[in-house]
Amino acid sequence: MKKILHKIWQFFQYPFIIFMAILFCLCLVLRLPFDYIKYKRSPYWKDLHKKYRMFAASGDNFELYNQIALNDLPIEYIANPQNDTIDCGWFVFEKTLIVTNYFDFAYDFELGKWCYHSEDDDEQSVIMTIEEYIEAEIEDVNKIAGDMICNDAVILVDAASIENPELAKEDGRFLVYDNNRVDVLRTFCGKRTS
């Protein structure tokens, strides 16, 4: 019985792999034109005229850039001089870095701080606090940019992706949004300018 099952698997293995490869390529071919059109019609393309890269219009930073541009928010996009893809650029408002890529922070009630923990099965240990993370982000951005572009940072985060979103909303280092990050960014910019 084992030999029969093995022969059946061998017979169907290659056609299955070929079928999955064809299906993947078909999905890719069907999705790319829509991504390209979305990219070419975007404020990002109109402002920066950067060459299209595969799935460039699918990233979160691309969407954020376009939302900022369409809503005339006074947030500046600074391209990374070492990597010109949109996912490697930074959003800055009055020397405050708006971090969009972040670790999964959780509030540690023992320490009384937001921390990023290791995911060991035995016990959790603190890898870094939010203060250390923000300090490292500011240092990295300024070093890569070759200029002092920011001296403070806030983390833009979806309420659904953070533990204790109500507690995070009370902390000035988080910009927590439920459905509309434009409103949160507009409020943030308004508080800083007034």
pLDDT in tens, 113-160: 888 877 665 566 778 888 999 999 999 999 988 889 999 999 999 988
The DSSP output letter for 80 is B
Query: What is the distance between the alpha carbons of residues 27 and 96, in angstroms, rounded to a whole number?
Result: 40
The band of 75, judged by pLDDT with boundaries at 50, 70 and 90, is very high
Q: Residue 29 has what pLDDT?
A: 79
Query: What is the distance between the alpha carbons of residues 35 and 117, in angstroms, rounded to a whole number?
Result: 36
Q: Residue 193 has what pLDDT?
A: 60
The band of 98, judged by pLDDT with boundaries at 50, 70 and 90, is very high
Q: What is the average pLDDT across 97-115?
A: 84
Query: What is the distance between the alpha carbons of residues 69 and 127, in angstroms, rounded to a whole number?
Result: 36
Q: Model's pTM, two decimal places?
A: 0.79
Judge contact between 116 and 103, C-beta under 8 A.
yes
18: Cβ contacts below 8 Å, ≥ 6 apart: none
